[in-house]
Amino acid sequence: MIFRSNLLRKLIVGLLSSSLLLGAQVSFAQNTTNKQTKQSTQQAVKKKVAPKKQKQVRTSTTRAKSKKVQGERRPSFAAAMGLRGNRDDLNLKSSVALIVDRQTHEVLFEKNAHAALPIASITKLMTSLVVLEAQQPLDETIVIEQADVNAYPGRTRSRVLKGAKMTREQALILALMSSENRAAYALGRNYPGGIPAFIDAMNAKAQLLGMTQSKFADPTGLSSENVSSPEDLTRLVEATYQHKVIREFSTRPDYNIMIGKRLQKFVNTNRLVRTSDMDIGLQKTGYISAAGRCLVMQAKVVGRDVVMVFLDSVGTQSRFADAVRVRKWLEENPSLDALRKL
């Protein structure tokens, strides 16, 4: 009996020990599982937070792109007036065009020729005309100042930095050939009486030339308030053509100049000049969003001296393609009848 009692006691103790050990293992397993579950939950929370941050970044980027696209789609004045897209016999991409015989003043081709529109950097022809007729020394040194840099902040890039020194002649070359805005503004600022007097002189000269549909508000053309009509621009081309300096400077293919301590190469904005595709005696390009792509020039085609005006051309190269198209048309039709006379 004693033996059986001891044996029974040992069995009970063994069972209790096994139960305690099993309970401890279960408890350990539960604690481990709870810890892993807690870590998984924290990781899941972190994973949920991360996508939210990424989503905010993407949304911000999308809004910025949207604003840029809206700015690029802002219509030109010609487009707003319903002039863009009108077809013509030559299928030009320019909304406005006028081709005139410079010797006889006969109109050979026209398209919306009476419209007065922003002319962008074609303005610089008038700028150069006022500078030359003021008889200011071309060898006089002018300095690019902060006022020239700040004239239209953010509107244009330039390698002509504050403090750059150049002669008046060099500033004219850069303004006419490479359409350099800071050089053009500095020319106006160095006029007797400064920018206000210079703008007055521009408008006075326009009236003297009979440019009744023209108005000038700054010497660069970056202002959309600089407006003119194709007919008025033919008068401006004729007036500037009388100056050899303007003819030569506007038709240089390129020009090297020291800006600070670096030699900088500037090229003509007119690819027809750079490639010598046409016999061009004077030219000027222009572009701001309000004006579209613009071009005026004097050229000789099959012995005929013509003035070409193209305003609000769609596409970066289309104004030059329009000029080539007109040249071919003149070559194929050497005896055109005039539409009218200016």
Q: Where are the domains of the chain?
A: 1-73, 77-341
What is the phi/psi pair of residue 106, to 5°?
Answer: -90, 135
Q: For residue range 77-99, what is the model confidence (pLDDT) as tens digits? A: 999 999 988 889 999 999 999 99
Q: Residue 190: which H helix or E strand, with range? A: none
- pLDDT band (50, 70, 90) for residue 42: low
CATH number of 77-341: 3.40.710.10
DSSP, collapsed to helix, strand or coil, labels residue 17 as helix
> pLDDT for 182-196, tens place per residue?
999 999 999 999 999
Active-site residue, from 124, 178, 214, 229: 124
239 contacts 129 by C-beta, under 8 angstroms: yes
Q: What per-residue confidence (pLDDT) applies to 54?
A: 39
Task: Determine contact, residues 211/285, Cβ cutoff 8 Å.
Answer: no
pLDDT at 187: 98
Helix (H) or strand (E) holding 219: none
For residues 264 and 257, the answer to whether their CB atoms sit within 8 Å is yes
Percent of the chain past pLDDT 90, that is, above it, reads 70
Residue 55 pLDDT > 90, yes or no? no
Strands (E), 14-111: 94-101, 106-111
- Can you give the pLDDT at residue 289? 95
Residue 228 annotated as catalytic: no
Could you please report the per-residue DSSP string of 104-149?
T-EEEEEESTT--EE-GGGHHHHHHHHHHHTT--TT-EEE--HHHH
Q: CA of 195: how far to CAs of 185, 199, 201, 216, in Å?
A: 8, 6, 10, 12
**Greatest CA separation for the chain:** 146
Weakest mean pLDDT among 29-33, 49-53, 265-269: 49-53
179 is catalytic: yes
Residue in 31, 219, 64 with CA at minimum distance from that of residue 130: 219
Average pLDDT, the chain: 84
Task: Give me the catalytic one of 178, 179, 229, 313.
Answer: 179
Nearest to 126 by CA among 218, 231, 225, 193: 218
Catalytic residue flag (residue 284): no
* Active-site option among 121, 223, 229, 313: 121
pLDDT band at 9 (very low <50, low <70, confident <90, very high): low
> Crossing angle of helices 194-208/123-133, nearest 10°?
100
